[in-house]
């Protein structure tokens, strides 16, 4: 089971010095991947379901991934997640290709739908369309990443007679991971993505999600080129040695840890101690 780290672009990590230290420790200590979080805006004053206070610092995912590409040499770099319905897929394809090229093929493209309606209102995007937009945007990006002469005709995006170079380093394209706990998100992962990502889950939550994914497989047409669905999970809270084993026994391929530490020294200490305990 691979071990990743979540949140290198926000909170105490959201500045050049802390990011450089944290990413360097992850690279040196054998972690498999580092992941961003994303909210383009935060609700002020905070109210459910907005997850953090409005003053919480959160650097843009694309900017953070580009920075990470320049200061690391080995770890994979994941968007965890890009709220894809809030973005233009043609622009996102261009930006993420740049990350894959600059990192020499280390990008993981994590996608989510979003769940805070006021964020969509602020951006002028109909909240009710978020699922359909996310699914279509994935396929528009895949077309730009894989077709010699890209053509796409969708409800929200259409293009032909264009080129977008360079292509990503990873072929046929960087891995695509869809996050979310709903049945719609599970179907989206099975139909459009290489993997599924569950966030802030207990072992029991993870078991239920995997059971749901397995039950839905028979009714979802999954392209053979996507391979076996990879399972990534960010656990809820601290993870004991027993829980590490329980996640692995469930078939989790990647555990993306979120320490919730208060400062850079605490985060680096957490990375070093985790690497030692897990034999990374």
CA dihedral 207, 209, 213, 216 (to 10 degrees): 110
> HSE (CB half, 13 Å, CA atoms) of 249?
8
Residue 231 has pLDDT above 80, yes or no: yes
pLDDT in tens, 71-107: 999 999 999 999 999 999 999 999 999 999 999 999 9
In DSSP terms, 176 is beta-bridged to 109
Taking residues 15-36, what's their average pLDDT?
97
Closest CA to 78 of 175, 223, 188, 172: 175
**Domain boundaries defined on the chain:** 2-278
Residue 201 has pLDDT above 90, yes or no: yes
Residue 12 has pLDDT above 90, yes or no: no
pTM score above 0.95:
yes
Predicted confidence band at 238 (pLDDT cuts at 50, 70, 90)?
confident
Q: Is 105 left (phi over 0), alpha (psi -120 to 50) or beta?
A: left
Helix (H, G, I), strand (E, B) or coil at 22: helix
The topology under which CATH files domain 2-278 is TIM Barrel (3.20.20)
DSSP H or E segment with residue 233: strand 230-235
pLDDT in tens, 37-68: 999 999 999 999 999 999 999 999 999 999 99
DSSP H or E segment with residue 271: helix 264-278
């Amino acid at each position: 089971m691979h071990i990743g780290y979540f949140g290198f672009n926000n909170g105490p990590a959201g500045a050049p010095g802390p990011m450089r230290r944290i990413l360097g420790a992850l690279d040196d200590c054998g972690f498999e991947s580092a992941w961003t979080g994303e909210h383009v805006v935060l609700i002020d004053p905070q109210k459910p379901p907005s997850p953090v206070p409005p003053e919480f610092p959160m650097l843009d995912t694309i900017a953070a991934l580009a920075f990470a590409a320049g200061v690391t040499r080995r770890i994979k770099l994941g968007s965890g997640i890009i709220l894809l319905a809030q973005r233009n897929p043609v622009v996102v394809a261009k930006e993420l290709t740049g990350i894959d090229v600059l990192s020499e093929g280390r990008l993981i493209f994590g996608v989510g739908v979003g769940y805070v309606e006021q964020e969509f209102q602020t951006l002028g995007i109909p909240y009710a369309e978020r699922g359909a937009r996310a699914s279509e945007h994935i396929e528009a990006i895949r077309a730009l990443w894989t077709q010699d002469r890209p053509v796409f005709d969708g409800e929200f995006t259409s293009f032909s007679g264009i080129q977008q170079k360079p292509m990503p380093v990873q072929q046929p394209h960087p891995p695509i991971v869809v996050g979310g706990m709903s049945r719609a998100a599970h179907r989206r992962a099975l139909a459009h993505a290489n993997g599924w990502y569950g966030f802030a889950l207990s072992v029991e939550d993870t078991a239920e999600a995997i059971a749901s994914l397995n039950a839905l497989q028979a009714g979802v047409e999954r392209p053979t080129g996507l391979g076996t669905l990879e399972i990534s999970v960010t656990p809820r809270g601290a993870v004991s040695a027993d829980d590490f084993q329980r996640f692995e026994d469930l078939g989790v391929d990647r555990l993306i840890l979120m320490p919730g530490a208060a400062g850079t020294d605490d985060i680096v200490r957490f990375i070093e101690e985790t690497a030692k305990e897990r034999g990374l």
